[in-house]
């Protein structure tokens, strides 16, 4: 069982291993009360769609009254190593919000999550960005529990959301966040599971 420090190390080093040696072009955005930087790898032909998805997802979360991190860095790349993933720590183990969008971001991620299901009005890149934001906000909401608790096991109400929500409790939280942000309504039991696990809440959410 990895210690908290080991888990933070794995988290902060994962992005480094996926970025490769490419020179990323960055655009700095100030909207929704935060700063967010979008780093684009020149090999990424889908970066336009990913940028639109990022702006839209942040607008949706902001509109539901959920406080966003003060700064988020997004990485868009077609490197084969690049995952769709949220990172929560920098190399000094300080809190940071970083999200990477890889080659599958516009094609539906894992294939069993909400991002690969037809949801009217939502493309998979927006759904994946919402899912990853759900992870980031979960970490900020539960604090140390994110690193010290066991998150294995299925949550009883996962089937209301998606097969992927059964993966573990962190994925349940991120899938609930993505689903509810994109307009799904879930039972009180399901909402309570989300709250008990410490998922992010806001003035109009969940
Ligand atoms: Zn996830």
pLDDT of residue 10: 93
Could you read off the pLDDT tens digit of each residue along the chain, which spans 206 residues? 789 999 999 998 999 999 999 999 999 999 999 999 999 999 999 999 999 999 999 999 999 999 999 999 999 999 999 999 999 999 888 999 999 999 999 987 678 999 998 888 999 999 999 999 999 999 999 999 999 999 999 999 999 999 999 999 999 999 999 999 999 999 999 999 999 999 999 999 99
How far, in Å, from the CA of 131 to the mean position of ligand 1? 6
For the whole model, what pTM was predicted?
0.97
The three-state (H, E, C) secondary structure of the chain, written as one string: CCCHHHHHHHHHHHHHHHHCCCCCEEEEEEECCEEEEEEECCCCCCHHHHHHHHHHHHHHHHHCCCCCCCEEEEEECCCCCCCCEEEEECCCCCEEEEEEECCCCCCCCCCCCHHHCCECCECHHHHHHHHHHHHHHHHHHHCCHHHHCCCCCCCCCHHHCCHHHHCCHHHHHHHHHHHHHCCCCCCHHHHHHHHHCCCCCECCEC
Give residue 178 CA to ligand 1 midpoint distance, Å: 10
The whole-number pLDDT of residue 19 equals 93
Query: How many Å lie between the centroid of ligand 1 and the Cα of residue 85?
Result: 7
CA of 50 to the centre of ligand 1 (A): 17
- Domain count across the chain: 1
Distance (Å) from CA 130 to ligand 1 centroid: 10
Q: Which domain holds residue 108?
A: 4-196
Ligand 1 mean position, distance from CA 136 (Å): 10
How far is ligand 1, taken at its centre, from the CA of residue 204, in Å?
23
Which pLDDT does position 176 carry in this prediction? 98
Q: How far is the CA of 135 from the centre of ligand 1 (A)?
A: 7
Question: Which pLDDT value is given to residue 111?
Answer: 84
The answer as to whether 202 is a domain residue is no
Residue 205 forms part of a structural domain: no
Residue 204 lies in a domain: no
Task: Tell me if 73 is assigned to some domain.
Answer: yes
């Amino acid at each position: 069982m990895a210690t908290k420090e080991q888990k933070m190390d794995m988290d902060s080093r994962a992005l480094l291993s996926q970025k490769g040696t490419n020179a990323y072009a960055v655009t700095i955005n100030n909207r929704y009360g935060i700063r967010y930087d979008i780093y684009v790898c020149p090999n990424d032909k889908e970066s336009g769609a990913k940028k639109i998805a990022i702006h839209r997802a942040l607008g949706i979360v902001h509109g539901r009254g959920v406080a966003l991190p003060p700064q988020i860095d997004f990485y868009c790349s077609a490197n084969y190593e690049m995952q769709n993933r949220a990172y929560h720590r920098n190399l000094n183990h300080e809190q940071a919000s970083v999200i990477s969008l890889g080659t599958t971001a516009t094609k539906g991620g894992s294939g069993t999550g909400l991002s690969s299901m037809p949801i009217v009005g939502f493309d998979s890149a927006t759904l994946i960005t919402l899912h990853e934001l759900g992870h980031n906000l979960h970490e900020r909401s539960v604090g140390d529990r994110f690193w010290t608790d066991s998150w294995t096991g299925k949550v009883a109400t996962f089937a209301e959301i998606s097969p992927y929500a059964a993966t573990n409790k962190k994925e349940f939280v991120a899938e609930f966040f993505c689903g509810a942000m994109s307009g799904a309504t879930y039972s009180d039991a399901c909402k309570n599971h989300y709250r008990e696990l410490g998922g992010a809440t806001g003035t109009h959410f969940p």
